[in-house]
Structure 1
Amino acid sequence: MLMVISPAKTLDFETPAATDTYTQPIFTEYSEALVDGLRALAPDDIQNLMGVSTAIAELNHKRFMDFTLPFSPDNAKQALFAFKGDVYTGLDAESLSPAALEYAQTHLVMLSGLYGVLKPLDLMQPYRLEMGTKFGVGEAATLYQFWGDRITQALNAQLRAAGAETLLN
């Protein structure tokens, strides 16, 4: 079984991750294209686009401006340890054994408006960009159009890698 969860709005980039092991997201070049487009927006534009407060818009404007590749443990954190919403609190990633983290790496993915698909140990930088946001790059008018079939193909590849036939969303 492959489990798919959503990212959380709450992030923790202060607490050290419970492991030094990390991987790289598969779609960083697409994330970079999105960030390049988002950098062109003023905080007011981000506020209107995302329907967030002035403070959150300014925070995310700064995050987009600070976005830097390549990701390393010095400028990013593993997704499973960075997200802190209800689902992630329930998972209690900090308590997972190395074997459980290895299992999660194969059987759990997070869908992301900025990163497309993240595995638990994929490094990420802080952001807020929900998949439903009407923002696109190039010919894509929305994130759904931007990501197109890439996410489906990545999920199918992960299903095969996990030897799974069931996707639980």
Structure 2
Amino acid sequence: MLFLISPAKSLDYDTPLGDVPHTLPLFTRQSVELIDVLRRKTPAQVSALMDISDPLAALNVARYEAFSPRFTERNSRQAALAFDGDVYDGLQARTLKPAQLQWAQEHLCILSGLYGVLRPLDRMQPYRLEMGTSLETARGRNLYQFWGDRIATYLNERQAEEKSPVVVNLASQEYFKSVDRKVLRARVVECVFEEYKSGQYKVISFPAKRARGMMARYAIVNRIGSVKKLEGFDADGYAFAPDVSTPDRLVFRRRAG
């Protein structure tokens, strides 16, 4: 069973990590190809392409220029410890024990516009490139065309020995669209997190993102290996709602944030 999560816009390369093992990203050649395209763009072009402020565009242009195909302790850090958004607030990767980090390395995949797929301990240099960006390359008009079936093929390879492979999607739709469902051989299970507000249950962005990270942590800490066991998730007041769930769409609800 593999769990997919999205990356984050916010990054933390300052908090001391201590002695944490690392691996290298798997699609460095493709990352370099994208960086080569991005390096040709001015800050103004990056600002328009990504709909970001001029200072943020300038920061990322500097990041593209500094990018190196060689990943070191100075220019990179482990992906699960570098991302710092809502999902990662729920994941709390820095508090995972070494054995739990190793389990995560084997079962958790971070989808990325620049890196394709990152394992939690893969070194990552700071960047911003959302999967939905319409960056034109020799492979097509956007990043979905650039990555093509490569991500789905990789996920198939990761579960090649599984009799009944399962992918649990905890990523946003923007990122999960990068997984070619026609190529993917695994069963896909989605987890949905709803809040009670104004007399009805609905998905609210911030708590839902954090809950996806908490579900990933729940799977890691408890070494979840079956869809049925996901139903036991009860962090922060969430509870499985069987009456509105289906076998491939598990809904979790809570009445107070």
**TM-score of the two chains, using structure 1 as the length reference:** 0.95
Q: Tell me the C-alpha RMSD between the 2 structures.
A: 1.5
Unmatched tracts of structure 2, length 5 or more:
170-257
Q: How does 1:30-49 map to 2 (within 5 A)?
A: 30-49=30-49
The runs of at least 4 aligned residues of structure 1 exceeding 4 Å deviation read: 161-164
The AA in structure 2 aligned to 1:151 is I
Distance change (3 Å), C-alpha of 1:161 and 1:97: farther
2-structure distance, mates of 1:42, 1:161: 46
Q: Indicate the residue corresponding to 2:68 in structure 1.
A: 68
Q: Which has the higher strand share?
A: 2
2-structure distance, mates of 1:68, 1:21: 20
Q: Indicate the residue corresponding to 1:53 in structure 2.
A: 53
Larger Rg: 2
Q: Indicate the residue corresponding to 1:79 in structure 2.
A: 79
1-structure distance, mates of 2:60, 2:161: 34
Q: Indicate the residue corresponding to 2:105 in structure 1.
A: 105
Distance change (3 Å), C-alpha of 1:150 and 1:131: same
Q: Kindly state the Cα deviation for residue 38 of structure 1 after the two structures are TM-superposed.
A: 0.1
Q: Indicate the residue corresponding to 1:15 in structure 2.
A: 15
Q: Kindly state the Cα deviation for residue 98 of structure 1 after the two structures are TM-superposed.
A: 0.8
Size of the aligned set, in residue pairs, is 169
Q: Which has the higher helix share?
A: 1
Q: For each residue in 1:13-65, what CA deviation from the matched residue of structure 2 results, as whole angstroms up to 9, or x when unmatched?
A: 11123543100111001000100100000000000000111111111111101
**TM-score of the two chains, using structure 2 as the length reference:** 0.63
2-structure distance, mates of 1:10, 1:151: 23
2-structure distance, mates of 1:68, 1:111: 20
Q: Kindly state the Cα deviation for residue 164 of structure 1 after the two structures are TM-superposed.
A: 6.6
2-structure distance, mates of 1:9, 1:67: 17
Q: For each residue in 1:94-136, what CA deviation from the matched residue of structure 2 results, as whole angstroms up to 9, or x when unmatched?
A: 1101110010001100000000000000000000101110003
Unmatched tracts of structure 1, length 5 or more:
none
Q: Give me the identity figure in percent.
A: 49
1-structure distance, mates of 2:28, 2:6: 18
The AA in structure 2 aligned to 1:69 is P
1-structure distance, mates of 2:162, 2:81: 22
Where relative contact order (Cα < 8 A, 6+ residues apart) is larger, the structure is 1
Describe the SS at the equivalent of 2:130: coil
